[in-house]
């Protein structure tokens, strides 16, 4: 029996600040034999290219015998996926990462009210809505635009063979000018002005405590100036794909995230850090608690409290043996969260959607496409 083919509709924003990129790779690598996910990238110019691009994509889905559609990005990709789903009578599955701190991040400048109306309109048409945490699940139920029967919780996972303490690079640490006596604190992704302000105050407190350290920031190049304003003496690395990220994580000593929002989901990055042997220091907001063990693999700190963050970091910077114990526990914990297990609820949703699929897709001539 041939596998069910699932169309993964994404946009062009493949970067680590967007959890969809990591999940896309994980789905492609770890899917079971009865499913065959195929990626279709929607260009930001598809809306200006006219009907030809849309009908061309629709024809590709028919030719590839797609049985269900999973849209993994918001914006143009989501609108395109809904149009394809309605026209081809295919079940639509959508990923939802939670409300972004700024609606402009994912929804093209929508106001909060417009975003909520859009979410209700879009997601109510979906067979399944995939969320990455219990926190986002509860938010959706509270907003009442999707029922529990629609929701699928597919938590973050990690490729423990790729992210490992064994990827530690002495050359990279020498280039950063860090050591056991001057540990590296890793921060990643895009930070809001409020988070950057907290990190600047946090840095000054560590200096007052006389705790030697150096920040390592791995972020998109376009956000480097903002990071430099908060942490001017950091070592800066460009945002990279998974294989290149592994030695950056493993060559650091602590991972710090002051993020206070659920979007993008912090789980994937936290698990990468822990699999690499890094204790994590995170905010008590967002879904951080679902992806670490407080006081065992790191610490959960009061959101907005630079003093609390600095106190926890100072403890680990000064206490190498304590840091080492946490590192071992973090690696063991990350080993319980492989992608294949984390994604099983999503794969089951694919199977159920494939069973709901309408009759085989019509021929091109039957849907009004002109043929030569």
Determine, yes or no, domain membership for 160: no
- Nearest 10 degrees: CA dihedral of 347, 351, 353, 354? 130
* Shared-domain flag, residues 137 and 184: no
Give 64-105 pLDDT, tens digit per residue.
999 999 998 878 899 999 999 999 999 999 999 876 544 344
Determine, yes or no, domain membership for 119: yes
**Position 359 pLDDT exceeds 70:** no
* Shared-domain flag, residues 72 and 111: yes
* Shared-domain flag, residues 123 and 267: no
Q: Looking at the 3D structure of the chain, how many domains does it have? A: 2
Determine, yes or no, domain membership for 80: yes
* Shared-domain flag, residues 348 and 277: no
Please tell me the predicted confidence (pLDDT) of residue 110.
57
* Shared-domain flag, residues 58 and 8: yes
* Shared-domain flag, residues 82 and 184: no
**Position 108 pLDDT exceeds 80:** no
* Shared-domain flag, residues 260 and 298: yes
Whole-angstrom Cα distance, residue 243 to residue 247? 8
Contact 116, 94 (CB under 8 A): no
* Shared-domain flag, residues 256 and 171: yes
Give the structural domain span for 24: 4-154+343-367
Span 103-117, mean pLDDT? 61
* Shared-domain flag, residues 325 and 180: yes
Q: Which of the pair, 368 or 299, is modelled with greater confidence?
A: 299
* Shared-domain flag, residues 283 and 260: yes
Give 123-163 pLDDT, tens digit per residue.
888 999 999 999 999 989 988 888 899 999 999 999 988 99
Please tell me the predicted confidence (pLDDT) of residue 236.
96
* Shared-domain flag, residues 77 and 136: yes
CATH number (domain holding residue 40): 3.40.50.2000
Please tell me the predicted confidence (pLDDT) of residue 119.
80
Q: Which of the pair, 114 or 193, is modelled with greater confidence?
A: 193
Contact 286, 255 (CB under 8 A): no
pTM of the entire structure?
Answer: 0.89
Determine, yes or no, domain membership for 362: yes
Determine, yes or no, domain membership for 229: yes
Tell me the pLDDT of the chain averaged across its residues. Answer: 88
Please tell me the predicted confidence (pLDDT) of residue 45.
60
* Shared-domain flag, residues 319 and 352: no
Determine, yes or no, domain membership for 65: yes
Determine, yes or no, domain membership for 234: yes
At residue 15 the predicted structure's pLDDT band, cuts being 50, 70 and 90, is very low
Determine, yes or no, domain membership for 186: yes
């Amino acid at each position: 029996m041939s596998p069910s083919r699932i169309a993964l509709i994404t946009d062009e924003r493949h970067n680590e600040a967007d959890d969809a990129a990591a999940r896309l790779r994980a789905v492609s690598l770890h899917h079971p034999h009865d499913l065959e996910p195929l990626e279709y990238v929607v260009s930001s110019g598809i809306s200006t290219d006219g009907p030809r691009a849309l009908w061309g994509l629709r024809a590709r889905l028919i030719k590839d015998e797609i049985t269900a559609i999973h849209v993994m990005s918001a914006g143009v990709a989501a609108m395109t996926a809904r149009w394809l789903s309605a026209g081809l009578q295919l079940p639509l599955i959508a990923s939802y990462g939670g409300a972004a701190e700024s609606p402009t991040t994912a929804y093209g400048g929508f106001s909060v009210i417009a975003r909520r109306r859009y979410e209700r309109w879009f997601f109510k048409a979906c067979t399944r809505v995939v969320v990455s945490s219990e926190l986002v699940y509860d938010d959706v139920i509270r907003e009442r635009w999707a029922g529990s029967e629609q929701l699928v919780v597919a938590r973050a996972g990690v490729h423990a063979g790729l992210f490992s303490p064994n990827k530690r690079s002495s050359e990279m640490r020498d280039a950063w000018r860090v050591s056991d006596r001057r540990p590296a604190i890793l921060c990643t992704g895009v930070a809001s002005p409020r988070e950057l302000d907290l990190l600047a105050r946090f840095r000054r407190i560590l200096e007052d405590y006389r705790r030697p350290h150096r920040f390592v920031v791995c972020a998109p190049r376009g956000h480097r100036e903002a990071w430099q304003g908060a942490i001017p003496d950091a070592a800066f690395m460009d945002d990279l794909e998974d294989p290149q990220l592994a030695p950056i994580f493993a060559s650091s000593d602590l991972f710090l995230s002051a993020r206070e929002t659920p979007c993008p989901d912090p789980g994937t990055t936290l698990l990468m850090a822990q699999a690499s042997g890094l204790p994590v220091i995170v905010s008590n907001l967002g879904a951080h608690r679902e992806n670490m063990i407080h006081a065992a693999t790191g610490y959960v700190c009061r959101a907005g409290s630079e003093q609390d963050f600095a106190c926890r970091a100072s403890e680990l910077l000064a206490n190498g043996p304590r840091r080492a114990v946490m590192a071992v526990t973090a690696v063991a914990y990350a080993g319980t969260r492989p992608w294949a297990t984390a994604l099983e609820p999503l794969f089951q949703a694919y199977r159920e959607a494939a069973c709901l699929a309408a009759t085989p897709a019509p021929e091109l001539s039957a849907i009004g496409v002109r043929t030569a």
